A and B are shown apart, each in its own frame.
Chain A
Amino acid sequence: MTTKELTEQGNTQKERENLLEVKNLKTYYPIHGGFFKRVVGNVKAVDDISFTIKKGETMGLVGESGCGKSTTGRTILRLIKPTGGQIIFDGEDITRISGTKLRKARQDFQMVFQDPYASLNPMQMVGDIISEPIKNFERRDKKELVEYVKSLLVRVGLPEAAYYKYAHEFSGGQRQRIGIARALALNPKLIIADEPVSALDVSVQSQVLNLLKDLQEEFGLTYLFIAHDLSVVKHMSDTIGVMYLGNLVEVASNKDLYSEPLHPYTQALISAIPEPDPKLRKERIVLQGDVPSPANPPTGCPFHTRCPMAQEICSQEKPPLKEVRPGHHVACVLY
């Protein structure tokens, strides 16, 4: 066996424990301009990010609005066409598949959407909403299907009678439960939760979060959890990725990231978490300026325009994401 074959074997073994592997993923939206609608530029919504999620774990993705979190999630689910890179799901490259093959593959990865109002069809009965994914892939006895959907409803904390109601008769939190039931219907391996609680009341948020946690244990689910609320992500995730302007600037385990954030941007974010104990007043890092436009990102490190520790090199070279401590990746020239 040559060394090349050996490393290849090693790779496939590594992929087995990884459910999702994202390599150099890019999603650009072209900007059309001029008389003939030529492409005059790109909005780099997701610009070269890589990470892996292990089976049964939760990866949190945080960042400000507009930093490309949702686009990342949707690109992984192939709801948006990736511009470049690779998405390997359960050992299979799903970056380029299309048509029926893609539709079949969708059984294994589902999404919980951000807006519980817009993500449910107002004209459909709740029972139909939840049974639709099953009807798309298999023929089941009608009675059995109704029973199954009702059991799902009960599992997510809704009464069986909800089957015959319409989405407008439920509150935001209940609607989100319906959305979760829909995502669960096909017994997927991966669920991407795109800010599932940001549209909900704080009191309801924790209920939905705990439901998601319970379901993860019960069904052995893997989550990619997208949020802008750091405390929510801390509650949910095993590993956390911090995004800024379409780039992943830091990836670390939950504990490491909160106890010892390395990237200046992460440090600023974490300093902004309100501290309930007034005696423990900590230094707040206030970032100056605004997020630059992803259509015209700064050269070098995307964060250098606002970084309190920026050096000259920062505007010239884009630092790669490298492992500076075991399991702790950061993209910054300081390390």
Chain B
Amino acid sequence: MTTNTAYGAVKRPEKSSSPWAIARRKFLRNKLAMISTVFLGIVILLSLLAPVLAPYLSPIPDITKVNIGKMSIPPNDEYLLGTDKSGRDVMTRLLYGGRISLLVGASATAIVVILGTIVGSVAGFFGGAVDSLLMRFTDFVLNFPFLVFVIVLNTILYGIVDGLWVLILVIGLLSWGGVARIVRSKVLSERENEYVLAAISIGTPPAKIIIKHLLPNVLSTIIVQATLLFASLIVAETGLSYLGFGVPEETPSWGNMLAFANEPDVLQGKPWMWMPPALAVTFTILSINFIGEGLKDALNPKSQR
């Protein structure tokens, strides 16, 4: 007992600790990851509450209307972050922009993770011809010229699907190759464990082996990948919107706001137009990356104790 306290007394929890519980405890102890989680939580909350908050923060809550009388006002008491070239309030657009950017990031990540996991785990578990076929297809998708595809799909789907969802679908359908490869390689090494052989020998059907045995054991990798992807897909949205192939122009997104500030005059003299979205993107991505790193540490069995 005394030796226990000498080592800082790692209290044994009452209930049996599953591997997930151990990971959760480790994650909660990681300060940087926890600060990032809180920050990301606030960003998400502010974005969700944009329609509620906007009227309080700005006298012109309309995000799309051009307002000639109020162009390019620097930040002051009335306009907390100033207005842009079209006389729209930057604060309001920043809040609404967060909704779009996070929605695009999250939805595209979901598509990528689901597709990548299905393709990767099936290829890895069955191996042989199935593996070759699926992985060649993955290579094919990975080699699509991203920008060209985005432009073409945008043109084809314009008017049929809402502009925002075109972007989400295009990003999602073109980016799953990397996840598929990572999941496949993890499944390949994981299925060498005897518990997979044991599952076969007790008559567990293949689909159940993948879902109940392999996926829980590669889930840590998938989660980490998903967080990092989330960050990079927000950047993708921002970049595409900047180039004009992303979110329709009148819809505010962080990328669109940045795209608006492409004149030297704005860049040099009117930082309030582009600083807020730039900082928002930077800090959101940073926090997501820190969370991803934290999860990686927490879920890595080798870093236990």
- Is there contact, CB below 8 Å, between A136 and B18? no
Interface: A92 (CB within 8 A): no
Interface: A148 (CB within 8 A): no
For B200, the chain A residues whose CB sits under 8 A away are 79
A169 (CB) vs chain B CBs: closest residue: B16
With A122-B19, A166-B16 as given contacts, are A103 and B203 in contact (CB-CB < 8 Å)?
A: yes
With A121-B217, A166-B19, A168-B19 as given contacts, are A182 and B197 in contact (CB-CB < 8 Å)?
A: no
| Contact segment of A111-119, A279-287, A311-319 | A111-119
- Is there contact, CB below 8 Å, between B194 and A164? no
For B301, the chain A residues whose CB sits under 8 A away are 122
Picked from B19, B201, B205, the residue with its CB within 8 Å of the CB of A110 is: B201
How far apart sit A103 and B197, CA to CA, in the bound complex (Å)? 13
How far apart sit A166 and B204, CA to CA, in the bound complex (Å)? 20
Interface: B216 (CB within 8 A): yes
How far apart sit A314 and B251, CA to CA, in the bound complex (Å)? 86
Interface: B103 (CB within 8 A): no
How many Å from the CB of A237 to the closest CB on chain B?
A: 22
Interface: B202 (CB within 8 A): yes
Interface of B: prevailing SS: helix
- Is there contact, CB below 8 Å, between A107 and B203? yes
With A166-B17, A166-B18, A166-B19 as given contacts, are A119 and B198 in contact (CB-CB < 8 Å)?
A: yes
Query: Binary interface profile of B, 210-234, with partner A (CB < 8 Å = 1, else 0)?
Result: 0011001100000000000000000
For B203, the chain A residues whose CB sits under 8 A away are 103-104, 106-107, 133, 136-137
For A119, the chain B residues whose CB sits under 8 A away are 193-195, 197-198
With A107-B203, A136-B205 as given contacts, are A123 and B19 in contact (CB-CB < 8 Å)?
A: yes
Interface: B134 (CB within 8 A): no
Interface: A270 (CB within 8 A): no
How far apart sit A118 and B196, CA to CA, in the bound complex (Å)? 9
- Is there contact, CB below 8 Å, between B202 and A106? yes
Contact count band on A:
20 to 34
For B110, the chain A residues whose CB sits under 8 A away are none
A105 (CB) vs chain B CBs: closest residue: B203
B195 (CB) vs chain A CBs: closest residue: A121
How far apart sit A133 and B199, CA to CA, in the bound complex (Å)? 8
How many Å from the CB of A202 to the closest CB on chain B?
A: 22
How many Å from the CB of B59 to the closest CB on chain A?
A: 55
With A136-B203, A166-B17 as given contacts, are A123 and B198 in contact (CB-CB < 8 Å)?
A: no
How far apart sit A186 and B202, CA to CA, in the bound complex (Å)? 9
How far apart sit A321 and B67, CA to CA, in the bound complex (Å)? 98
How many Å from the CB of B166 to the closest CB on chain A?
A: 38
A136 (CB) vs chain B CBs: closest residue: B203
Interface: A125 (CB within 8 A): yes
- Is there contact, CB below 8 Å, between A164 and B197? no
Which residue, A79, A114, A115, A124, has most C-beta atoms of chain B within 10 A?
Answer: A124
- Is there contact, CB below 8 Å, between A125 and B18? yes
How many Å from the CB of A233 to the closest CB on chain B?
A: 21
Picked from A79, A166, A186, the residue with its CB within 8 Å of the CB of B197 is: A79
How many Å from the CB of B18 to the closest CB on chain A?
A: 6
Picked from A107, A114, A118, A132, the residue with its CB within 8 Å of the CB of B199 is: A132
A186 (CB) vs chain B CBs: closest residue: B202
B192 (CB) vs chain A CBs: closest residue: A118
Cross-chain pairs A/B with CB under 8 angstroms, 6 sampled? A79-B197, A106-B202, A111-B197, A114-B194, A119-B195, A122-B217
The 3 closest A-B pairs by CB, nearest first: A133-B202, A119-B194, A123-B216
Residues of A within 8 A of B (CB): 74, 77, 79, 103-104, 106-107, 110-111, 113-115, 118-125, 132-133, 136-137, 164-166, 168-169, 179, 182, 185-186
